[in-house]
Amino acid sequence: MDPLDEPQLEVGVGPWAGPWPADDRYDPELLEQGDRRNVVDAYRYWRLEAIVADLDTRRHPFHVAIENWQHDLNIGSIVRTANAFTASAVHIIGKRRWNRRGAMVTDRYQRVEHHESADAFAAWAHGEGLVVVAVDNTPGSVPVDAAPLPERCALLFGQEGPGLTEAAIAAADAHVAIRQFGSTRSINAAAAAAIVMHEWIRVHAPAAE
């Protein structure tokens, strides 16, 4: 059989079977038509605002910041990963507009903030009591797995290719890198962000999660 002729499985669930729940978290339109969104089963049929409100009650105390000077496609993927790990917020530094394609609409569920410059972001972070951790294989950086990341921190990532700007490096309180053993100087920015975020999760997230 031609793969194109194979039946395609539908994502999600169909219309609600039985009496509708008496709970304002549920969306009447989704109950009637079904919920085909890419959400975990616990949020099936919930309104978007209800999902965000629930996530807000259990976000982790780390933030993610990304410099945005070249409309990098990786930014959307980083937002998607931040949502998966329930980061407190994602902070876009530089251009306000960013490429949302890789986010796969997860930016609707994730808090996203904007800062004009690395200095402005660092000032905000320090005012919130966050340690700014630059992620790049710059001189003096230490392996991210060599010591625990601070529990309250902001993980700062640069653009694909050039990495962090000098201003961002100077604004950081700590500098970490990912161990690499091949011929390429760096790995994909979205992949690097996922590795470092999961390192925070591995150290700080409760085992029950």
Give the pLDDT confidence of 163-189 residue by residue, as tens digits.
899 999 999 999 999 999 999 878 889
Give the pLDDT confidence of 4-37 residue by residue, as tens digits.
555 566 789 999 999 999 999 999 999 999 999 9
Q: Residue 2 has what pLDDT?
A: 55
Nearest CA to 203 among 183, 184, 176, 181?
176
- Residue 209 in this model has a pLDDT that exceeds 60: no
Fold of the domain built from segment(s) 62-204: Alpha/beta knot (3.40.1280)
**How many Cβ atoms sit within 10 Å of the Cβ of residue 18?**
5
What are the residue ranges spanned by the domains of the chain? 9-56, 62-204
Q: Report the C-alpha dihedral over residues 83, 85, 86, 88, rounded to 10 degrees.
A: -100
If you average pLDDT over every residue of the chain, what do you get? 92
